[in-house]
Structure 1
C-alpha cells in the first residue's frame, strides 16, 4: 500500500507539473479537461499495473527455487498496530469525508427550500436572497432578482450543467478524502475549476456575446463589494476576459505530441516490473524445484514432453566463451540434440540444448561435468538444497532469530522481503542480496538473519553436490 501511495503521488505531481508548464495557457478546453481528468485516472491505475520489462533471453547458471513464505509478526506488549501517523491520517480523512457529506446535505437543503421557475425556457431553482448562483448536476440555483441580467448568468450555469462539470468535482473531491495530503490534488482542482468557468463562459458567449462580458464584470465587482474605480484590474476578471478573446486559438501539434509522449513514458516507467521482480514472480508461480529457463526453452521442453511422454529430457548449457566445452560439444552427433538455442547473458552468449537422458550426449555431458568441475555445464536439479531439519525447522529458526523492526512498526510498514542467495556445495550461504524489499529496517533484519543461518544441505544432481540459487520470501505482517 505504501509503495502504491508513493508511486501515485509522484505520478500525479509529475502530471500536474506537465500541465502547468506546458498546457495551462492553452485554450483548447476539451483537451485541458481531458488531460486533468485522464492523467489523474492514469496515476491511480498505473501503480497497480505490471508490464513486463523487455529483456533478452538469459539463462541462469544455477538451479533456482523459491522457499515457502514465512510470515513475521510484531511481538511485545508495547506495540500498537495503529501508529500516531496512521491515526492522524485516518482522522483527517474522516473529516474530509464528513465535509463531503455535509456539502451534499447542504445542497439538498437548498433544493428543499427552492422554488422551480422557468426563465427563457430554462428551468431553475429560485432561492430568495441567494448571494451567488451555482449548479449541481442539472439543478441551477439562483436568485434572479439579485442580477441585472439574470439571463446571462443562467446561460453560464446551463453551460456547467450541459457539460456535466459536477461529475468532475465529485470525482476530485472524493479523491481528497484519502489523498488530502497530496498538494497536486488540490492544485488540479483549482485548475479544473478554471477550465470549467472558461467552458461555461464559452457556452454563454454563443448565446449573447454583447452583454455577457459586462455582466461578468458587474457580478465580480458585486461579489467583492468594490466599486469600478478601485477593482477593475482584478486579475481573475482579466484572465477570463482575455481568455474570451483568444478562445479560438488551437494548441500546437508538437505540444500535444510532447505531452502524450511524456505521459506515456512516465506511466510505462512506473508500470514496468524490473528484471529481478519479474524473475521472482515467474519462479514463485512455478514449482519449487523448477530451474530458471528462458520462455522459449521452457516452451520447447514442454512440447517435447507432450510429444514423447515416456522420454525424460534434460537441459544442458554452456558459455560460448568456454572453448573446451564448445570443442567437446562440436564432436557430438547433432541428431541426438532435440532442440538447441543460443541465448545472451550481458555480453556473453550461451548455448542451451535439450537432450534425452538416455542419449549418448547426456552421458558425455555428465562426464565433462565430473572431469572438469570448473566448466559451466549445468543440468536439472534432482534434489534441491534444504535447511537442516526441513521447512519446519527453518521456520523455527526464523521465528527465533528475526524480529519486527520497531521503525517499521511505528511507520506501519508491512509487506514482503525477497532474499536471494546461493547454497554452496559445502552448505554455506553466499551472495546474499535483497532483490525486493520494503525498507524501514525490514530488509536489513531479514538479510542479517539469513547471513547468520547455519549450513544447509546442498543440492544434488546425479549424486554430485551442486551450487543452487534460492529466493526466500519473508512476509512482515502487522496485526489486523
Structure 2
C-alpha cells in the first residue's frame, strides 16, 4: 500500500518583505491616503469621514427586514474597506473592495449566503464615491503597503434603520507594511520571491520528515483531508492548534506534525511583532 501526503500552506492577508532589516524598511512616516481637497490639513481624516458618511447612507437604505429579518439593534456589523492605489495617486476602484460582516453566527450560515453577498455589493458602492486623492509619504510598491478601513455599526431595523457608529475596529492612521513569520534556515536577505519559496520548501520538508501515517488508519482504510489552523505568536511560538478532519486519528497526526514546528521569527506589522494565523490542509491518501 502506497502512502501519500499532500500539504498546502496558505497565508492570511500577509505580505513578506525580505532583503532589508527592520531598521532599513521605511515604515514611518506612514504612507497615507487623503482627499485632495483637504490634503493640506494636518492629521486629516477626511477620507475616513467620507467613508463613514457614505457607509451610513448605505446601511440606512439597505433592506435588512427582507434580507436579514432576524437582525436586531444588538447585532454588530463590521464594514471592511481595502483601498488599492496606483503609482500615480489614483484609487483603483475595480481592485479595491468593500465587505460587511455581522457578528452573529446565525447570519454566517448557508441560508444567508445570498443576503451577505447583496450586503457586500451594497457596501462596495461606497468606494465609487471617493473623489480625487493624494498619497502622503509614498512608499515603493515593493513594500506593498496595505490601506484598510474597518468600521463598526449597529442598525435598528425596527426604527427605520437608525444607524449608530460604535467605533473603528482599527483606526486608519496610514498604510500597513507586513512581514510574515520567518522559518529558520531562510536567509532574511533573500529576494522576496526567493524567500517565499524558501519558507514553503522548509515547511514541506518539515512535514515530509515528521509525517507517519497512523497504523490504525492504515489497517482500517481511513483517509481524507485534515484542516489544521494555528497561529505564530508575537514571540514566534506555534500556538492555538485546531484541527478539523474526517477522523480523530488523522487529526491527531496532523496536530503532532504542527506541534513539532520550530520557533519562528515573529511576523511584524509596521515593525511591531504580531500574532499571525496560518491554515494547512493535509490530505491523507491511501492507494
TM-score interval, smaller chain: 0.3 to 0.5
| TM-score normalised according to structure 1 size | 0.26
Name the one with the larger strand percent. 2
Name the one with the larger helix percent. 1
- Larger C-alpha radius of gyration, 1 or 2? 1
